[in-house]
Amino acid sequence: MSLPIDTTPELAAALAARQPVVALESTIITHGMPWPQNLETARAVEAEVRAAGALPATIAVLDGRLQIGLSDDRLDALARARDVAKLSRADFAACLATGGTGATTVAATMIAARLAGIETFATGGIGGVHRGAEDSFDISADLSELAETAVTVVCAGAKAILDLPKTLEVLETRGVPVIAYGQDALPAFWSRDSGLTAPLRMDSAAAIAAAHVLRGRLGLPGGQLVTNPVPEADEIPRAVIAPIVEAALAEAAREGISGKAVTPFLLDRIFTLTEGRSLATNIALVLNNARLAAGIAGEIAAIRR
């Protein structure tokens, strides 16, 4: 049985020629942002990657086929669709086998990127260890994927909806390098500073690319997590977002939200409670990550050439 995988001709040619390509996830489109900003952002992120000298590959599963790169029509249809599955490592193969349609999380997008030969991936935020994980055991499969799959993921840090110290501990245990770009502090998605120091700091795309390639040459499995602070003009300071996050978490607890529904529920509540400011910040940081990821992809391609 062969793998049901489709690549656009443009991407197939670029990958064969080892040109820089950046993978993009689709859960941020279906579960992370409301219509129509989700489609506008998906398009803007692709344009940003191109402007920075790489090709974008948005990844999703449509009717049982893994798509590496989506045409604009398909992107539009996915952004409008309701009740799309949110695919991670556990349900990826089942969705393909049953002809299903699903958006890929960070974990599933990393798996798809590796299959396609794409080494760099840009997103907004990753999943991590949820607050209260000592009772709920809610730890995102994104963390184990980072430990196993050799893709460098550029995000804006982890959201304050997570337990950041525990998330860092799990990443350390699993041997995942967590790199802050251009500063010492670990960024926290909407805020530039989580109050924690990142385990590693790098100040150039070239250094991040060199570390990525050297990990492979050392025989180490797994990827790198690059945390790129949101631009200052777009940030929501920690003191402003913290009480809003607390309110959203309390609502989730009251309503008994659990499992895969937790992250989308919290994002939606925070969007409402900030009167849309959280979404504007989210869009700005994804674009910022797309630019950095394209730079890293270019440097990795230069090393491999």
Stretch of 27-35, 166-174, 221-229, 244-252 contacting ligand PSU, by CB under 6 A:
27-35
- From the centroid of its chain, how far is CA 214? 23
Q: Which of 138, 142, 145, 193 binds Mn ion (CB under 5 A)?
A: 138
* # residues contacting ligand PSU (CB under 6 A): 19
- From the centroid of its chain, how far is CA 12? 22
* Beta strand segments in 236-281, E: none
20 binds, among ligand PSU, Mn ion, none (CB under 5 to 8 A by kind): none
Does 141 engage in binding with ligand PSU (CB under 6 A)? yes
Q: How far is the CB of 218 from ligand PSU (least distance, A)?
A: 26
| 26 among annotated binding-site residues | no
Contact positions with ligand PSU (CB under 6 A) in 68-97: 88
Stretch of 16-24, 55-63, 135-143, 175-183 contacting ligand PSU, by CB under 6 A:
135-143
Who contacts 28 (Cβ-Cβ below 8 Å, separation ≥6)? Answer: 38, 41, 42, 123, 124, 286
Does 191 engage in binding with ligand PSU (CB under 6 A)? no
| 86 among annotated binding-site residues | yes
Q: Which of 46, 48, 142, 163 binds ligand PSU (CB under 6 A)?
A: 142
Q: Where do we find the tokens 């607390």? A: 246
Who contacts 79 (Cβ-Cβ below 8 Å, separation ≥6)? Answer: 29, 30, 35, 36, 38, 39, 42
| 142 among annotated binding-site residues | yes
Distances (CA, A) of 287 to 55, 84, 112, 230: 14, 24, 21, 9
Catalytic residues: 25, 159
Rounded Cα distance, 215 and 294, in Å: 20
- Residues paired with residue 7 on neighbouring β-strands, in sequence order: 68
Binding site for Mn ion (CB under 5 A): 138
Residues placed in the known binding site: 86, 106, 138, 140-142
